[in-house]
Chain A
Amino acid sequence: MEWLVAGSVVLLCLYMAWTIGANDVANSMGAAVGSGCITIRQALVIAAIFEFAGAVLVGSDVTDTIRKGIVEPSALAKSPEVLCLGMACALLASALWLHVATWMGMPVSTTHSIVGAVAGFGVVAAGIQAVHWGKIVSIVASWFISPIAGLVLGYIIFKFILRSVLTRAQPVVAASNVAPIIVFLTTLVLAMATLYDGMKNLLKPGGALAAWATGSRAIAAAVVVSLVCAGATWLLLRRRAQAQAGLPLADQLRRVERLFIPLAVMAACSVSFAHGANDVANAVGPLAAVVDLLKHGVVRKEVPVPLWILGLGGVGIVLGLATYGYTVMRTIGKEITEITPSRAVAAGIATAATVLTCTRMGLPVSTSHCVVGAVLGVGLARGLGAVNRRVVRNICGSWLATVPAAAGMAMLLFVLGHYFGVDVFLKQLMPALPPAP
């Protein structure tokens, strides 16, 4: 009968993943579609592939944080059904809050919602001491720091592109020399995020491959892969660059953006990958806790997140962007026409690097805020014709609103569930739980 419990949590988790996929696709693909690099349909296909890949390959760190890093599971060891109810309430509250905020026209972060909800139920269910307040502080700090890091990186990367390509006397030739560097950097970020001390859930622990893929060998592997991609880029571009080398400056400037199109697509892929890695946890973190509980009676510390859970989240995200993503992209794509591929590259790489770094540190961050930070960084480097400063105010406002709202809703739902004896009902569904070790 515990599959009934697991089943309903799975459904809630899929629903949350669907919402995440539908709402957030514009963050990763918006710049690439708006600057005319790809069509919306192509964007959705690419996003689907990379979101799923990110979720499965790199999604376990943040999922771990949500399943056991916020609320200490051993505090509820005697009453696992309470943890079950709480996680379910957290998911439901998050999903509800997302709908309310969307309906009210407010920008909302899926990450802030789930973290607030889990912390909220933790306080009510197990008491204030059951919540890892140190972790909460570092998570909240990352919510402030990650957009700023995105801004700094966006500024630096765009200044680099300016100095090395756009302000040169022969921009097309310069682009063919700099593109391999950009490919190298982007591939390195993705490869390092995946390989360095990662892939715990894909490789058998203690197996030969797992022992090999650590430390400096992982770094070396990442560097080699990146160099290969960079070399391929250089070979592909040199002939075209030489053909256009003699053109006057104005002509070269009008053509150089075209050379950035594949790079912008690559940057969008990396943002999708990073988003999948960081945000899949918002849907499957609670599920992972519940599944562990039902299987083993306790949420174990050192066991990696099961692959099928990450895969489920990935599927949910893909479903979301496949069904609702087209409408969202069409609406937003019209508003992002003022970006060009070179700017999209800078913003994309900055976002992906920031989000992936936070992901590997186990910190759930809002990809939307990081994207805004990166774009603002490009704007500060004078890369954009006009940047709306008010968005910063919206971000600060959403910080203040989302966490209390989601926490409040989770608390309310949990208290209601507890009052109506849902947890007692759950306990009856879980008779076969092994005793906690």
Chain B
Amino acid sequence: MKKAGKHIAFYGTLLLIWIIIAKLKIWPPYVFPDPKGVFDSLYAGFSDKSFLIAIGVSMRRMLLGYGLSVVLGMILGLLVASNKFFEETLGGLLVSLQSLPSICWLPLAVLWFGLTEKAILFVVVMGSLLSVTISMETGRRQMPKIYGMAGRNLGARGFRLFLFVLLPASLPYIVNGLKQGWAFAWRSLISGEMIFVSLGLGQLLMMGRDLNDMSQVIAVMLLIIAIGYIVDGLVFQTVERRLQRKWGVEEAAA
């Protein structure tokens, strides 16, 4: 409860500073809105359902793109981890590709797929695929060897060994990468939506700019933060903590 008090004090102060600056009217309200304006935008956005629709569209793209990159990333990661040749070639390429912001794929994507859903999915997949792949690869290595041995010892082989032993055993080691992949996918999606207009939260943000409506811009930013926080901070962290406790894996750092 003490922690909650600290949070209230901190965010309360932040809000207060915001109100004071807005009240000083250094900048016109369409450049620097006050909290009430942002709240009104939020309220209006939810009551005319435009925010809900945008969230729906963005989440659908996220689930599709992220789901795709998880499946592809796991396969790729296992391939790299289990084969010396791929490790030395593909592994290096993946690491170097990681320094490329995924939005850089957008021109290519638009060229290949046109201004379609496919293009934005491509950007989302490219955003998270690498971190999922790399975490799957390292997870496969970090996983204690004992599980694989125990599985074989009890007669499990081949695909059964993979599905019922190796995959579940590596979960606590890859969940962090999956989380990271989600965060990357989320960023890629928003940037993609901002640049190339067709519904979604990113487009809503740019619309606010085009209409000189900073309240809406900030309202959408708050939404993006909130969604990211809910998924990342609540869903993933809960799953991660549960897995690690159950698997008996000590957290490296809290």
Partners in one complex: no
